[in-house]
Amino acid sequence: MGGNRVRLLCNGSQAFPAWLEAIDQAHARISLEMYIFSDDVVGRRFADALSRAARRGVEVRLLYDSVGCRHNHPSFFESLRQAGAWAVPYHPYRVWRPHFWTLLRRNHRKTLVCDGTVAFAGGINISDRWMPVSDGGWGWHDAAVEVRGPAVSDIEAVFLRTWNWRAKRRMRLKVRRLHRPAVAGRTPLTVIANRELLDRFAIRRAALHAIGASQRRVYLVSPYFLPDPGFMRSLAAAVGRAVDVRILVPKHSDSATVDLASHATFSRLLQAGVRIFQHHPVVHTKALLVDEDFVSIGSYNFDHRSLVYNLEMVVNVLDPQLNGHVAEMLEDDMRNGREVDWAIFRRRSLLARLCERIAYSFRHWF
């Protein structure tokens, strides 16, 4: 879909002010979907902004994941409801009514749409983790995009399809009531999202198609990098066509088990000629860059959970300017990280290799 304008937002230091400004300027409705909405300094700042919006008559719809927000006291979201916002948990787990399937299926999207005219999507959650260390945060690196133009209604439609299934009738908004915004630029993009049971492989297919069409470079960054064998073959095939393939992962994520399983994929990729970089602090960005035009940014990790269990969404953009900005961001993280040396990595102990293999064999469960 053409006619859009897309802007890259790096880290919480750029994303949070833009999100708060959009919330403060909203006059009709706010649609917010968030995996982690923490009860901390940043979270309370957003809760206050949403409460102010609700009190001035804005329809505030908040869909938060009950596992991602499990550390919050119930009063945190109750205060939003008392202010007039509609706050609904996704798949709340009840001990007296256990459903293992709903515990696995999480809403991992991070989107915000205000007045149907501006939308934000990416990997950034509302939490102190995404603020700079100098401001009291954890300094996690991440990215989101701001979208203006006709595609905004597609992003909000993705939110409403899940919201209308989970919310009470009086809180719902029919997708057909959305009005497509006017042309705001010249950038073509597509919004790809999976559903509870449908389109589970749509995001993966689009990524594989882009990698298969690559001619010069493929940059991929994922905090939880657990690719399946087919995806690794696609990356290796790109290297065989003399494509510069680089993978950026955190040196240490917030899951030691995932890090261990991820290392099990390094040998095959390094032998194929893929360059792997590790970054510290945590790089939480989920992005795929191909050649000089294609960029994919969203909530999708290249692991089994995003493929099968989680609700995810990505924005795939064809724009040389955005591509250049994302390439600059990723190359900067690579320069400040450390490249994995195959000659050194191959000398790790037999015990380490065994633990990596065992962890990777359980990749379907974490």
Q: Is residue 108 part of a domain?
A: yes
Instruction: Indicate if 177 and 210 belong to the same structural domain.
Output: no
The verdict on residue 196 lying in a domain is: no
Choice between 365 and 229, residue whose per-residue pLDDT is larger: 229
pLDDT in tens, 217-265: 999 999 999 999 999 999 999 999 999 999 999 999 999 999 999 999 9
In a domain, 194, yes or no: no
Please check whether residues 240 and 337 belong to one and the same domain: yes
83 inside domain: yes
CB atoms within 10 A of CB 366: 14
| Mean pLDDT score across all residues of the chain | 95
Residue 195 is assigned to a structural domain of this protein: no
- Residue 102 confidence (pLDDT) above 80: no
pLDDT for residue 85 is more than 90: yes
Same domain, 210 and 175: no
Are 54 and 89 contained in the same domain? yes
Residues 177 and 274 in one domain: no
33 and 167 assigned to the same domain = yes
Looking up residue 166, the CATH number of its domain turns out to be: 3.30.870.10
82 and 158 together in one domain = yes
Distance in angstroms (rounded) separating the CA atoms of residues 326 and 263: 25
Domain termination residue (choose one: 154, 187, 220)? 187
Most confident of 57-61, 92-96, 97-101: 57-61
Shared-domain flag, residues 29 and 79: yes
pLDDT tens, 294-341? Answer: 999 999 999 999 999 999 999 999 999 999 999 999 999 999 999 999
How many domains, in total, are found in the chain?
2
- Identify whether 164 is part of a domain: yes
Co-location of 227 and 163 in the same domain = no
Residue at 332 is within a domain: yes
**Claim to verify: residue 128 and residue 216 sit in the same structural domain:** no
Whether 97 has a pLDDT exceeding 80, the answer reads no
Residue 60 lies in a domain: yes
d(CA 136, CA 361): 38
Instruction: Determine the 3-state secondary structure of 355 from DSSP.
Output: helix
Give the range of the structural domain holding residue 158, as residue numbers without chain letter.
5-187
206 and 183 within one domain: no
96 falls in which pLDDT band (50, 70, 90)? low
Final residue in a domain of this structure, among 155, 187, 219: 187
Instruction: Please say whether the beta carbons of 37 and 64 come within 8 A.
Output: yes
The pLDDT assigned to 100 comes to 63
Neighbours of 325 (CB within 10 A): 17
| Whether 178 and 206 share a structural domain | no
